[in-house]
Chains A and B, each alone.
Chain A
Amino acid sequence: MIRRALAGLLLLLHPFTAAAGTDIPLRIDAAYVRVGPQAKVVAGYLVAHNDSDRPVDVVAAEMPGARRIELHVSTLDGGMMRMREVEQISVPARGSLDFERTGTHFMIFYDDGPPAPGASLSLTLRYADGRTQVVPVAVRALTDDAARQDAQTP
């Protein structure tokens, strides 16, 4: 019993245990929550890389302080912008998914207002196969974000 607990503790403490194996479903880049004019609902984005041979499906997300997080996709359909809640967000095998470029986002609901720009958050991703992953998330101001998007425009 004690031995098992100790082994578990070692597993938790050892930084390579998670990174080296296949335990990490996705490599996550540039995760951020964008705060702007809204107090109750904000959008979160990231870039996910799937190094495995199977698609990886995100089915839920949680974050301390947020009341609820929904998975959403905005699509442009004949000039009409349609935003829909989706059951899952699928990252293709040996591929990547850039949330922002594909209209994909976390819709994050707050009761008492979102965190301030500059804060660091932890987002828990839940996958279809039952695995979970915690990723660090930055908080950025919308106005900085627009400047960044502009900088990327050729």
Chain B
Amino acid sequence: MALRSRALLIPAVLIAAVLAFALGAALALRASAPPSVPGLLWPARTIAPFTLTDRHGQPFTLAALEGRWSFVYFGFTRCPDVCPTTLGLLKQVGQKLVDDAAFLQHGQVVLVSVDPERDTPAALDRYLGYFGPSFTGVTGRAADIAAVAREFGVVFGRVPQGDDYTVDHSASVLLVDPHGRLVAVFTPPIDSGRIAEQFRAIRAFVEAQS
């Protein structure tokens, strides 16, 4: 009897071990093999806490990025060419995601000003009112904005231009997931159709991980 149960036990343990290994491998594979979506950043990058000011003059912290998907763009309101073009295209992205309830209900576009000296909350409010309520603008102390830009891997710099100045800045659009993590970087040329498709794939992947 004892011998017989021992004889049964060994194959059972072996089978269990093989199953456990297979399961572990499958889980590891799922976590380590994200879909080949251009722009996807995986593992996601966590963002350090920050405090900036939104277009209504209210504090804007990491919590404002949680519980929703956010497209984040660093630019400024006096930029006449690239910034309005990009924000206009992001509005198009939103219109293309009308069937995506998760984006439509809570999704937002966040313009982080790289020209906080001129981009007051009131200036941002006027500017972003054009694009609609799902657009918000963020400004703050120059040092705080520089710190947030570093967290997002974004670079910018002020450049004198006659008796005025302009600001060079990264042209990428960033995607933050509902956990407040940076999950994608979309580099130019910015194409709203492509970004909408990439968003769907990235959202499906990120949601499958949690």
Question: Which of A40, A107, A146 is B85 in contact with, Cβ under 8 Å?
Answer: A146
Say whether B110 faces chain A, with CB atoms less than 8 Å apart. Answer: no
Say whether B68 faces chain A, with CB atoms less than 8 Å apart. Answer: no
Query: Can you identify 14 A-B contacts, CB atoms within 8 angstroms?
Result: A34-B84, A36-B84, A37-B77, A38-B80, A38-B84, A42-B80, A43-B84, A74-B81, A81-B82, A103-B81, A105-B81, A142-B88, A145-B88, A149-B85
Distance of B172 from chain A, by nearest CB (Å)? 6
Distance of A35 from chain B, by nearest CB (Å)? 9
Say whether A49 faces chain B, with CB atoms less than 8 Å apart. Answer: no
Say yes or no: B127 contacts A72, CB within 8 Å.
Answer: no
Separation of A60 and B166 alpha carbons in the complex (Å): 20
Most chain B beta carbons < 10 A, residue from A41, A74, A81, A105: A81
| Closest chain A residue to B157, Cβ basis | A80
Instruction: Mark out the residues of chain B between 168 and 202 whose CB falls within 8 Å of any chain A CB in the assembled complex.
Output: 168-172, 187-188, 191-194
Say whether A94 faces chain B, with CB atoms less than 8 Å apart. Answer: no
The tally of CB-CB contacts under 8 A between chains A and B is 92
Instruction: Mark out the residues of chain A between 31 and 54 whose CB falls within 8 Å of any chain B CB in the assembled complex.
Output: 34, 36-43
Question: Which of B80, B129, B162 is A43 in contact with, Cβ under 8 Å?
Answer: B80
Say yes or no: A146 contacts B131, CB within 8 Å.
Answer: no
Separation of A50 and B191 alpha carbons in the complex (Å): 30
Say yes or no: B170 contacts A143, CB within 8 Å.
Answer: no
**Chain B count of residues within 8 A CB distance of the other chain:** 35
B residues within 8 A CB of A42?
A: 80
B residues within 8 A CB of A83?
A: 79, 81-82, 166, 168
Say whether B203 faces chain A, with CB atoms less than 8 Å apart. Answer: no
* Binary interface encoding of chain B residues 75-118 relative to chain A, with 1 for a CB under 8 A from any of its CBs, else 0: 00111111011011101100000000000000000000000000
Q: Please give the residue numbers on chain B whose beta carbons come within 8 Å of chain A beta carbons, in ascending order.
A: 77-82, 84-85, 87-89, 91-92, 126-131, 155, 159, 161-162, 166, 168-172, 187-188, 191-194
Say yes or no: B130 contacts A79, CB within 8 Å.
Answer: no
Interface residues on A, range: 20 to 34
Q: Please give the residue numbers on chain A whose beta carbons come within 8 Å of chain B beta carbons, in ascending order.
A: 34, 36-43, 72, 74, 76, 79-85, 103, 105, 107-108, 142-143, 145-147, 149-150, 153
- Which DSSP category, helix, strand, loop or mixed, fits chain B's interface? mixed
Distance of A115 from chain B, by nearest CB (Å)? 15
Say yes or no: B127 contacts A79, CB within 8 Å.
Answer: no
User: Apart from A105-B81, A153-B192, what 14 extra A-B contacts exist at CB < 8 Å?
Assistant: A37-B126, A40-B78, A41-B78, A43-B84, A79-B171, A83-B168, A107-B80, A107-B81, A142-B130, A143-B88, A146-B85, A146-B192, A150-B89, A153-B194
Separation of A83 and B188 alpha carbons in the complex (Å): 15
B residues within 8 A CB of A107?
A: 80-81
Distance of A104 from chain B, by nearest CB (Å)? 9
Most chain B beta carbons < 10 A, residue from A37, A39, A80: A37
Contact of A37 with B171 at beta-carbon distance under 8 Å, contacts A74-B81, A153-B193 already known: no
Contact of A150 with B81 at beta-carbon distance under 8 Å, contacts A36-B130, A81-B169 already known: no
Separation of A149 and B159 alpha carbons in the complex (Å): 29
